[in-house]
Structure 1
Amino acid sequence: MDGFIDILKGIQSVVWGPITLILLVGTGLYFTIRLGFLQITKLPRAIRYIFEKEKGVEGDDGDVSAFASLCTTLAATIGTGSIVGVATALRTGGPGALFWMWVSAFVGMTTKYAEGVLAVKYRTVDENGEIAGGPMYYIQNGMGKKWIWLAKIFAIFGVMTALMGCGTFPQVNAITESAHSAFGLPIWLVGIIVTIAVAAVVLGGIKSISKAAELIVPVMAIFYVLGSIAIMIINADAIPGVFKSIFDAAFHPRAMIGGASGTIIISVMTALQTGVARGVYTNEAGLGSSPIVVAAAKTNSCVRQGLLSMTSVFFTTLIICTMTGIVVISSGLLDTTALDGSLLSNAAYNQGLPGNIGMYIVSIGLVFFSFTTIIGWCYYGERCLSYLVKSVHCSKIFKIVYILCIAVAPYLTLETVWILADITNALMAFPNLIALLALSPVVIAETKKFFDEEKKMKRIKK
């Protein structure tokens, strides 16, 4: 087994090497500059759109509401990455990893915006009368049919990521470990319950998934954020030191407890690689997954939906992940224990609040966040397979295989789970980032057109 893990680690180091990091951060930086730092100037408007109903949207303009689409996107991103992923990143890359998560999230907001614009612009209707969109379609319809091979590569990696990466293994592993740690429930029992619950939702299709996401995501996000704020208030004296350690560790090597190996030295490159990789895992900017459900939104404006999509990165990484990171670092457990994953998050939150309140916040948050991620990724994988295999039966077959993966996920080790997730994420990102750069003139043109028309309408009204 150790040999297999070593092989996976070798693959992981290659796919998350300098080329991937430069491509991910570079793409986001390119869009940030070309769009005039849109993630700053248009963020208030984007947040306002969440609460405003778009005018002039007809019933055939999409499958689910724009808000439901956003919730489904958040459902697939606010999962283990926001809690376990942050703790794992801090353990592997030190406090400096959080800084690089911020960097990847900041530039990733414009990447996510570009994905949303292209998803709606190039979406189509499939053989079953459902909206079909995502990187497969903006590669095929935007770049031309000679690039279909690239679209198929993305779809293949999308199916792999759903079955072996973001969608299944890390989420189920986190749920079972957390429920076992907090409530003493047997892992096999939790696994059965999760499998049955997932089957009940995903067999209902995108409308069933989006309804579950609309119900669970806002409630659980508020619940988790309030708990985190309470701990930060209690640990207020330690907060300045937390930020100092984050910035210091981001640019300087740092010694830290490293489990069985004792004290380890964490390099700047390790912090950078870990931070960017976990940042992408958390917000999926550049991964190409969220455009699949963004395309299903009921909207007649690709720019408006792009702005809405952008907010998911803001909420997941810049708010929720930051809160998790601050709580973990301020607890001091990084330097005094070898705890990792959900156990580290549990301990940090438990230390911050009286009784076992903190542990229950993390455990309950993990269960629901991970569950929504599971159901969101089922839709992503299903749509990728539908693009590859033009058959009405492929959707049902995929769901059955997906549910089987959920059933076996509790019995995989945490290390293997995260390595597989990192590898499949990187493989999925490559074709999508190539498409985003190739179609960047379209994104820029659509953005300019939208805001120019808006200015023109304002002048007419005056």
Structure 2
Amino acid sequence: MSKFLNWLAGELWGWPMMILIFLCGLIFGLGTGFFQVRKLPYVLKETLGKCFRKDALEGEGTITPLQAVSSALAGCIGNGNIAGVATAIATGGPGAVFWMWIMGLFGMMTKFVEVVLAVHFREQTESGAFYGGPMYYIEKGMGRKWKPLATFYGVMMIVGALGTAVWVQPHTMASALKSTFGIPPLATVVCAVILTALVCFGGFKRIGRFAESIMPYFVVVYTVFSLGVIFTNIARLPEVAGMIFKYAFTPHAAVGGFAGGTMILAVRYGAARGVFSNEAGLGTASMVHATSITKHPCRQGLYGIVEVFVDTIVMCSMTAFVILLSAPDVWSSGLNGIALTISAFDTLYGKFGAWIVSISVMLAALTTMIGYYFEYKTSVVYVFGEKNMGIFNIFWLIPPFVAVTQDVDLVWTIVDISTGIEGIPNMIAMLALAPIFFKVYKQWIKDGNL
């Protein structure tokens, strides 16, 4: 059974998925003149440049745009940025970083489209809460006959959220804190569950405030420590940049503990890690953005572009350069995942490097547990109704206690399958609703927003 599941996960996250995501990004990129790259300074000015201004808030919604993008980042910035990038380099070689960037650039447009559709088709319940996302734009945009597909997406999202957020993340966090600080896993889980319950069950606004108070500082601190390693080894930057671009298109011979890599491996692992990290094409983060206070879908879509930019172009790149610059032989030492990232930070910070990575893992895991509740609740409300949320809140708190005593490899496989399956109906819906997206986008441009 496990062999079949591993095969299915590999097929779902193989070339067909990468090509589908690439095509979505290319089609919408061509249709907008690659707006996400061409107008990136404008995007950054209109989002990061204004997100702290209270007077910039206009329109309906539940949480502020900063809280929305912080909550979305809380869900997607996780151990994929820390361990996933290391795995991509250890398996696919330095060239994997180039393909991670390519998927990030196309992912910026894919996420923009997802968010625009989610806000355009969102709805407000009797309780006053706003909900949106793939389930809503599949049903409302494509018609009620597609409701079974929307429901199927919602069920897969529930499975994926439970696996990703409250099974894998607590296990990873508990393991990291035990190995570095000797903290008993059960103590870690109890504290994490209590904090998660206090934040999540306080509603979307409380989650937004929590994410807003954590994520910007987490990104800045991780970037600062990463830049310490990068600037210390700045003399090797031209060499490393050359490796990234050279081995993106040519094979890399075996060296040290690195078994050697081909262009196929570089593309496969670089692209997959990029998508795993920023979740562009999966539709998950669009559920968070659908709750944001905004006057136009395209305006909130700008925050989707920024989300992928920060996640992949900034955070993943920091980890990649730390690993490749830290010493000539660290990336090819044979280490993988968290161990490789710790080894890279150790070259400058010594034992403190393990502290940096372990605390980063803890924060990434904790914020993922909390950030993913947005997607979980939105999916539960769509599939089972708002009145049944109470019982599903209990389901959110049980898995962490089981996870710390179990091997999570099988759970990771199930998560890979469920999230891979999510992406297929979401991207089909995006392509089907392309005329509506372009109509909304062109009207926004016509109204003088650029």
Q: TM-score, normalised by structure 2?
A: 0.93
The answer to whether residue 17 in structure 2 is matched with residue 20 in structure 1 is yes
SS of structure 2 residue aligned to 1:168: helix
SS of structure 1 residue aligned to 2:99: helix
1:368 aligned partner: 363
2:135 aligned partner: 136
Query: Hey, what's the Cα distance between the residues in 2 that align with 1:370 and 1:257?
Result: 33
Letter in 2 for 1:29: L
Query: Hey, what's the Cα distance between the residues in 1 that align with 2:181 and 2:279?
Result: 31
SS of structure 2 residue aligned to 1:64: coil
SS of structure 1 residue aligned to 2:259: strand
Q: Kindly indicate whether the alpha-carbon contact (under 8 Å) linking 1:94 and 1:256 is maintained by their aligned counterparts in 2.
A: no
Letter in 2 for 1:227: F
2:336 aligned partner: 340
Q: Kindly indicate whether the alpha-carbon contact (under 8 Å) linking 1:257 and 1:334 is maintained by their aligned counterparts in 2.
A: no
1:179 aligned partner: 177
Q: Kindly indicate whether the alpha-carbon contact (under 8 Å) linking 2:76 and 2:279 is maintained by their aligned counterparts in 1.
A: yes
Tell which deviates more after alignment, 270-279 or 210-219.
270-279
CA apart distance, 1:136: 0.6
2:31 aligned partner: 34
CA separation of 1:55/1:208 partners in 2, compared to 1, >3 Å: closer, same or farther? closer
CA separation of 1:28/1:13 partners in 2, compared to 1, >3 Å: closer, same or farther? same
1:301 aligned partner: 296
Spell out the pairing of 1:47-62 with structure 2 (5 A cutoff).
Answer: 47-50=44-47, 51-52=49-50, 53=53, 57-58=58-59, 61-62=60-61
CA separation of 1:146/1:201 partners in 2, compared to 1, >3 Å: closer, same or farther? same
Letter in 1 for 2:209: K
SS of structure 2 residue aligned to 1:364: helix
Which of 270, 273, 276 is equivalent to 2:265?
Answer: 270
Q: Kindly indicate whether the alpha-carbon contact (under 8 Å) linking 1:205 and 1:379 is maintained by their aligned counterparts in 2.
A: no
Letter in 2 for 1:300: K
The answer to whether residue 387 in structure 2 is matched with residue 392 in structure 1 is yes
Q: Kindly indicate whether the alpha-carbon contact (under 8 Å) linking 1:76 and 1:373 is maintained by their aligned counterparts in 2.
A: yes
2:113 aligned partner: 114
1:239 aligned partner: 237
Query: Hey, what's the Cα distance between the residues in 2 that align with 1:55 and 1:83?
Result: 34
CA apart distance, 1:20: 1.1
CA apart distance, 1:55: 5.0
Q: Kindly indicate whether the alpha-carbon contact (under 8 Å) linking 1:227 and 1:358 is maintained by their aligned counterparts in 2.
A: no
Which of 401, 409, 412 is equivalent to 2:395?
Answer: 401
Query: Hey, what's the Cα distance between the residues in 1 that align with 2:346 and 2:401?
Result: 30
SS of structure 1 residue aligned to 2:295: coil
CA separation of 1:7/1:266 partners in 2, compared to 1, >3 Å: closer, same or farther? farther
Q: Kindly indicate whether the alpha-carbon contact (under 8 Å) linking 1:132 and 1:296 is maintained by their aligned counterparts in 2.
A: yes
CA apart distance, 1:149: 1.7
Q: Kindly indicate whether the alpha-carbon contact (under 8 Å) linking 1:81 and 1:282 is maintained by their aligned counterparts in 2.
A: yes
Which of 440, 447, 452 is equivalent to 2:441?
Answer: 447
CA apart distance, 1:390: 2.0
Q: Kindly indicate whether the alpha-carbon contact (under 8 Å) linking 2:240 and 2:325 is maintained by their aligned counterparts in 1.
A: yes
Q: Kindly indicate whether the alpha-carbon contact (under 8 Å) linking 2:37 and 2:105 is maintained by their aligned counterparts in 1.
A: no
CA apart distance, 1:418: 4.1
Q: Kindly indicate whether the alpha-carbon contact (under 8 Å) linking 2:111 and 2:280 is maintained by their aligned counterparts in 1.
A: yes
SS of structure 2 residue aligned to 1:363: helix
1:290 aligned partner: 285
SS of structure 2 residue aligned to 1:250: coil
Tell me the alpha carbon deviations over residues 78-133 of structure 1, each in whole angstroms, 9 at most, x when there is no partner: 11111111112222322222211111110010001101111111100124331010
CA apart distance, 1:134: 0.5
Letter in 2 for 1:315: V
CA separation of 1:411/1:42 partners in 2, compared to 1, >3 Å: closer, same or farther? farther
Provide structure 2 residue ranges, at least 5 long, that are not aligned to the other structure.
none
Query: Hey, what's the Cα distance between the residues in 1 that align with 2:125 and 2:252?
Result: 52
Q: Kindly indicate whether the alpha-carbon contact (under 8 Å) linking 2:69 and 2:307 is maintained by their aligned counterparts in 1.
A: yes
2:203 aligned partner: 205
Tell me the alpha carbon deviations over residues 162-209 of structure 1, each in whole angstroms, 9 at most, x when there is no partner: 0113x2333223312221232122223222322222222212121121
2:187 aligned partner: 189
Q: Kindly indicate whether the alpha-carbon contact (under 8 Å) linking 2:57 and 2:64 is maintained by their aligned counterparts in 1.
A: no
2:431 aligned partner: 437
Q: Kindly indicate whether the alpha-carbon contact (under 8 Å) linking 1:125 and 1:131 is maintained by their aligned counterparts in 2.
A: yes
Provide structure 1 residue ranges, at least 5 long, that are not aligned to the other structure.
none
CA separation of 1:256/1:209 partners in 2, compared to 1, >3 Å: closer, same or farther? farther
CA apart distance, 1:425: 2.1
CA separation of 1:391/1:316 partners in 2, compared to 1, >3 Å: closer, same or farther? closer
2:154 aligned partner: 155
1:358 aligned partner: 353
Letter in 2 for 1:298: I
Spell out the pairing of 1:292-331 with structure 2 (5 A cutoff).
Answer: 292-331=287-326
Q: Kindly indicate whether the alpha-carbon contact (under 8 Å) linking 1:281 and 1:422 is maintained by their aligned counterparts in 2.
A: no
Q: Kindly indicate whether the alpha-carbon contact (under 8 Å) linking 2:90 and 2:332 is maintained by their aligned counterparts in 1.
A: no
Q: Kindly indicate whether the alpha-carbon contact (under 8 Å) linking 2:258 and 2:332 is maintained by their aligned counterparts in 1.
A: no
CA apart distance, 1:364: 1.6
RMSD: 2.0
Q: Kindly indicate whether the alpha-carbon contact (under 8 Å) linking 1:77 and 1:284 is maintained by their aligned counterparts in 2.
A: yes
SS of structure 2 residue aligned to 1:232: helix
1:9 aligned partner: 6
Q: Kindly indicate whether the alpha-carbon contact (under 8 Å) linking 2:196 and 2:370 is maintained by their aligned counterparts in 1.
A: yes
Query: Hey, what's the Cα distance between the residues in 1 that align with 2:144 and 2:250?
Result: 47
SS of structure 1 residue aligned to 2:387: coil
Letter in 2 for 1:87: A
